Structure 1
Amino acid sequence: MLSFENVGLRYGVGPETLRDLTFQIAPRSFQFLTGPSGAGKTTLMRLIIMALKPTRGLINIFGRDAATLETDEIADARRRIGVVFQDFRLLDHLTVYENVALPLRVLGREEASYRSEVIELLKWVGLGERKHSLPTVLSGGEKQRASIARALISQPKLLLADEPTGNVDPTLARRILRLFVELHKSGTAVVIATHDLSLMDQYEAARRLVLADGRLHIFE
């Protein structure tokens, strides 16, 4: 699904921020991406979604060399990747239902073709009674679950989540992790960037990718 081969990233003329990254994310796999603050977890995720280009090395995504993709091909590849942002990035003037449905609207689908999908997904993340609410009245945990639903509505092959439990209490963090595990078991590859060791300890079947000093260490 995705592979990095000797990838390095340098900003300007300074030292490499990330160097010699070589790893694979297999279909239907689950991994935690961790490391100290400033280690480059978010930067690595931006490389995966092609928001950044590496200084050197090869990134292969869905069987294609990312460096060879045209603009429309990059957009198509991104549609197969769901992203849960740490700051939610919900649109305050849209309801929860409208926020979650937005990726499908952008694709040009008629509401009649996706309404039931959105409603069922909102029920799955525990927001069935909040579909008409605006983000401004939601709790942090509800915003996070709405962000997760929006990332999932397009049925991505790969889901990236950047500190998805950083703004919620431990009980809700466990619930959110269970959502990701269920998604993984249904066939989606999952990468969760987190510094929460207690969260990772709750799913020991996951592989751990540890960033430190610009390098990646893998623990199966």
Structure 2
Amino acid sequence: MIRFENVGLRYGMGQEVLKDLSFHIPPRSFQFLTGPSGAGKTTLIRLLFLSLKPTRGLIRVFGRDISTIAPREFPALRRRIGVVFQDFRLLDHLTTYENVALPLRVLGRTDADYRHDVVELLRWVGLGDRINAFPPVLSGGEKQRVAIARALITQPEVLLADEPTGNVDPPLARRLLRLFLELNRLGTAVVIATHDIGLMDQVDARRLVIADGRVEVSE
């Protein structure tokens, strides 16, 4: 589904921050991306989401070499990849419902087309009673679940989550993990970037360990 072969990344003329990355994300798989703070997890998430291009090496996404893809085609590819950012990136002037529905509005769908799907998804993530709330009045855990729902509403083939439990307490972290596992059971490949060893120990899953700019795969 996503394959890296000898990928390197540097900014400007500096040293490579990521180097010789070779790994793949299989369809319907579940894996953690881990490593110490500052190791490059967020940068690697951005490469996976196609918001950064590598300095060298080959990245294939859904069977296509990204170096041969025209810029106008990238938005369509990104719509097949859901992403949950560390800072949520919710729009404060939109309600919970409107934030989740935004990707569908961008695609030109009407409220009548998607309202049922958005409401059902918000109920699934435990926010059925917060549909009309605005982000400033939501807790950190609620904002996190809105961001997750927004990433899921387009039914992505891959979900990337950058430290999705970093701002919540342990019980909610376990609840979010169950949501990701259920999503994976339904067929979505999931990549969770985290440094939370306790969270990872709850699941027998593949680990992509990043250190010194390189990735090692632990099955």
Aligned counterpart, 2:53: 53
- In 1, the alpha carbon distance for the partners of 2:92 and 2:110 equals 22
Alignment of 1:151-162 (within 5 A): 151-162=151-162
Q: TM-score, normalised by structure 2?
A: 0.99
1:213 maps to a residue whose letter is D
Cα deviations across residues 176-211 of structure 1 (Å, max 9, x unaligned)? Answer: 00000000000000000000000000111x100000
Alignment of 1:83-102 (within 5 A): 83-102=83-102
Find out whether 1:137 has 2:137 as its counterpart: yes
Aligned counterpart, 1:81: 81
Cα deviations across residues 153-192 of structure 1 (Å, max 9, x unaligned)? Answer: 0000000000000000000000000000000000000000
Aligned counterpart, 2:177: 177
Partner SS for 2:50: coil
Q: TM-score, normalised by structure 1?
A: 0.98
2:91 maps to a residue whose letter is L
Partner SS for 2:101: helix
Q: What stretches of structure 1 move > 2 A for 4+ residues in a row?
A: none
Q: Tell me, which stretches of 5 or more residues in structure 2 are unaligned?
A: none
Partner SS for 2:184: helix
- In 1, the alpha carbon distance for the partners of 2:14 and 2:104 equals 41
Alignment of 1:181-200 (within 5 A): 181-200=181-200
RMSD, aligned α-carbons = 0.6
2:57 maps to a residue whose letter is G
Aligned counterpart, 2:213: 214
Q: Tell me, which stretches of 5 or more residues in structure 1 are unaligned?
A: none
CA shift, 1:70, in A, is 1.1
Aligned counterpart, 2:106: 106
Aligned length: 219
Alignment of 1:3-14 (within 5 A): 3-14=3-14
- In 2, the alpha carbon distance for the partners of 1:25 and 1:39 equals 20
